Amino acid sequence: MSHGWAGGFVVLALLRAVASPADAGHAGASAVPVVRPDYVKALLDAREPLVLVDFRKPIEYRAGHLPGAISVPITELDRRYREIPEAPRIVLYCQCPLEEIATAHVFLERQGYRNHTVLEGGFDGWLRRQYPVVK
């Protein structure tokens, strides 16, 4: 990985100190901004400009993802982050611990991204609400 992730691991260590196991679905309190799935769905329904970034593995993405989402596996973020447009609004999601997506959020911030947030509950939170997925 690139050295850009090194600073993110400081955040990761701090989050591990305060995060509970319930945070694994991204629902817990964190240092990164989160957005509720119902708000993201409303934006999609209104056809508002929105970039959804799926950090899961390609096979998981192909099995089903949020409508319009792009796939950038979190393990490849340091090499592929330039594929993510810097605007308008960016929503990040995965099925990973809060600490992992928080580290990705910080990494993007260090690359100059300013309008990005994390989907509360991650992909599982989206599915629990029975919102649409694309296969």
Residue 8 belongs to what domain range? 3-128
Is residue 133 in a domain? no
Q: Any idea what the CATH number is for the domain that residue 78 is in?
A: 3.40.250.10
- Identify whether 135 is part of a domain: no
Using CA atoms in the order 28, 32, 38, 40, what is the torsion angle rounded to 10 degrees?
-150
Distance CA 121, CA 96 (A): 10
Give the Cα separation of 60 and 93 in Å (integer): 12
Within-domain flag for 28? yes
- Name the domain count of the chain: 1
Closest CA to 35 of 82, 84, 101, 109: 101
16: in domain: yes
User: pLDDT below 70 — which residues of the chain?
Assistant: 1-30
Please tell me which residue in 51, 94, 98, 106 is annotated as part of the active site: 94
- Residue 66 falls inside a structural domain: yes
Answer yes or no: are the C-beta atoms of 89 and 43 closer than 8 Å: yes
- Determine, yes or no, domain membership for 134: no
Active site residue 94: yes
